């Protein structure tokens, strides 16, 4: 009886293993989504691109049969992989600790990074300076300053016109006298041609002198910040400069968005696709757009935006990209080895040149 149960367990074990075995004759379901230049859906409903040709070379070398299954985005693919409803995706998937834990990630075949795009501003330094001076943010500060000067000048004139009518005349001329006194006192010029004589007037003067010191310091910093922010829109040289830009755009659920959240940098606008974001950037609706540099370069060329969008030379946060399979997939080793062999061949370099892509 014991021997009978022992043989049954052996058969069950072997049967379970045979279900996990992978036969090269099995048809693999490859989940993909339109993601140029890696996966491109053509007008004829065919597929091409860097990842497509790389995968087809691997499949041909390993005698693998497969079929493509198209999805609208990578979220749908992740769900299918999680439930093991597809065998793999060949779209470049970023390698991170969570994915390595829950999926099988192949050897990375591409290294990319976050690119920084800005509107192309073909203006002289003088034109940039003039536009800064007449920018809305700058004018708001100036008008606020004039308003505060007017308020203190008005109240001093209101009090002094009865006690000092020679220096603070009645009517509009007297109102101008108050404005003049307020302005020269704030700038510490102090011509001495007008001075309060009443105790209430002197009290207002003392309050205004101390207030003016604080206001001048604050407004100087505010004006400098405004001019710096506007100037940086044409002079962003590194990641720290991005912190000073106001209108930053991204595509939702991407590395660009994650980077800004991680660095506590405010996001002004989130778009559904890089095409929408780039077109808005070309119209100067935003100041900066962060997205995968390889894909940015592809769309800038494809949409003929070279004269409207400038892709800056520096990059942010590199990320490694791989094929992804369900955890413990029986074909993983075969595909992974095939991938490593393929990217060492000369034709892998030819493919990158064909699609005009460059790692990092």
Banded pLDDT at 226 (limits 50, 70, 90): low
Please state the rounded mean pLDDT for residues 297-301. Answer: 94
What's the rounded mean pLDDT across residues 186-212? 83
Cα atoms found within 13 Å of the Cα of residue 328, Cβ hemisphere only = 5
- How far from chain centre, in Å, is Cα 119? 14
Please enumerate in sequence order all residues whose Cβ is within 8 A of that of 25, keeping only pairs 6 or more positions apart, or say none. Answer: 65
Q: How far apart are the first and last CA of the chain?
A: 65
Tokens 């990842």 — which residue?
51
The string of pLDDT tens digits covering residues 165-189 is 888 888 888 888 888 888 888 877 6
* The pLDDT value given to residue 275: 95
Mind listing the domains of the chain with CATH numbers?
A: 19-111+321-354 (3.40.190.10), 117-121+242-318 (3.40.190.10), 126-232 (1.10.287.70)
pLDDT tier for residue 267 given thresholds of 50, 70 and 90: very high
Contacts of 9 (CB under 8 A, 6+ apart): none
User: Is 311 in a helix, a strand, or coil?
Assistant: strand
The chain-wide mean pLDDT, for the chain, equals: 86
Alpha helical stretches, state H, the chain = 2-20, 50-62, 74-82, 97-102, 125-133, 136-160, 171-186, 199-232, 239-242, 255-262, 274-282, 293-302, 332-342, 346-354
CA dihedral 308, 311, 316, 319 (to 10 degrees): 110
pLDDT in tens, 34-87: 999 999 999 899 999 999 999 999 999 999 999 999 999 888 999 999 999 999
Under the banding of pLDDT at 50, 70 and 90, the label for residue 335 is very high
Q: What is the pLDDT of residue 225?
A: 62
How far apart, in Å, are the Cα atoms of 143 and each of 137, 140, 149, 157, 258? 10, 5, 10, 21, 38
Least confident of 94-108, 113-127, 201-215, 279-293: 113-127
Beta bridge pairs of residue 111: 320
User: Quick one: tokens of 2?
Assistant: 């014991």
């Amino acid at each position: 009886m014991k021997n009978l149960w022992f043989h049954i367990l052996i058969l069950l074990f072997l049967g379970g293993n045979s279900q996990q075995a992978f036969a090269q004759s099995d048809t693999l379901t490859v989940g993909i989504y339109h993601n140029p230049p890696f996966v491109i859906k053509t007008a004829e409903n065919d597929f091409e691109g860097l990842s497509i040709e790389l995968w087809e070379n691997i499949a041909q070398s390993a005698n693998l049969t497969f079929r493509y299954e198209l999805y609208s985005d990578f979220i749908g693919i992740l769900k299918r992989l999680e439930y093991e409803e597809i065998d793999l995706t060949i779209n470049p998937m970023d390698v991170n600790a969570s994915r390595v834990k829950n999926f099988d990630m192949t050897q990375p075949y591409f290294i990319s990074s976050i690119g920084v795009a800005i509107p192309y501003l073909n203006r002289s330094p003088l034109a940039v300076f003039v536009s800064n001076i007449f920018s809305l943010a700058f004018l708001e500060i100036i008008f606020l300053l004039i308003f505060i000067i007017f308020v203190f000048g008005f109240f001093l004139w209101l009090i002094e016109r009865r006690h000092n009518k020679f220096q603070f005349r009645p009517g509009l001329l007297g109102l101008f006298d108050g404005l003049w006194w307020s302005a020269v006192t704030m700038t510490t010029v102090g011509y001495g041609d007008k001075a309060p004589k009443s105790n209430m007037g002197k009290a207002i003067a003392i309050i205004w002198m101390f207030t003016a010191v604080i206001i001048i310091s604050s407004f100087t910093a505010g004006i400098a910040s405004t001019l710096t922010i506007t100037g940086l829109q044409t002079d962003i040289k590194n990641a720290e400069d991005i912190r000073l830009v106001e209108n930053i755009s991204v595509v939702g659920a991407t590395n660009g968005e994650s980077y800004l959240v991680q660095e506590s940098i405010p996001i002004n606008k989130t778009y559904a696709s890089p095409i929408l974001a780039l077109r808005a950037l070309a119209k100067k609706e935003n100041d900066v757009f962060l997205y995968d540099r390889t894909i940015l370069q592809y769309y800038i060329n494809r949409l003929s935006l070279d004269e409207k969008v400038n892709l800056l030379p520096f990059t942010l946060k590199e990320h490694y990209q791989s094929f992804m399979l369900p955890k413990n997939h029986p074909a993983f080793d075969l595909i992974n080895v095939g991938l490593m062999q393929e990217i060492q061949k000369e034709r892998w370099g030819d493919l990158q040149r064909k699609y005009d892509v460059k790692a990092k």
